[in-house]
Amino acid sequence: MNRARACPVQAFSLVELMTVLFIAAIVLAVAMPDVRALIRHYRFNAAVNDLAGAIDMTRTQAMARGQRVMLAPADPGGADWSLGWVAFVDRDGDRRPGAADELVSMHGPVGSGIVVSAVFTSQKLPDYLAYNPAGRSCSANSSAAARWGTLSLFQDGQTRRIKINMLGRARVCDPARDGADCAGEEEEP
pLDDT per residue as tens digits for the range 158-170: 999 999 998 889 9
Query: Does the pLDDT at position 186 exceed 70?
Result: no
Return the percentage of the chain with pLDDT > 90, whole number: 48
Assign 187 a pLDDT band (cuts: 50, 70, 90): low
Instruction: Give the residue among 100, 104, 94, 95 at the shortest CA–CA distance from 60.
Output: 104
Q: What is the pTM of this model?
A: 0.80
Mean pLDDT of 120-149: 87
| Prior bond of 76 cis (ω within 30°) | no
The pLDDT value recorded for residue 2 is: 58
Query: Does the pLDDT at position 5 exceed 80?
Result: no
Mean pLDDT of 120-131: 84
Determine the distance from the C-alpha atom of residue 17 to the mean position of all C-alpha atoms in its chain, rounded to a whole number.
45
Assign 154 a pLDDT band (cuts: 50, 70, 90): very high
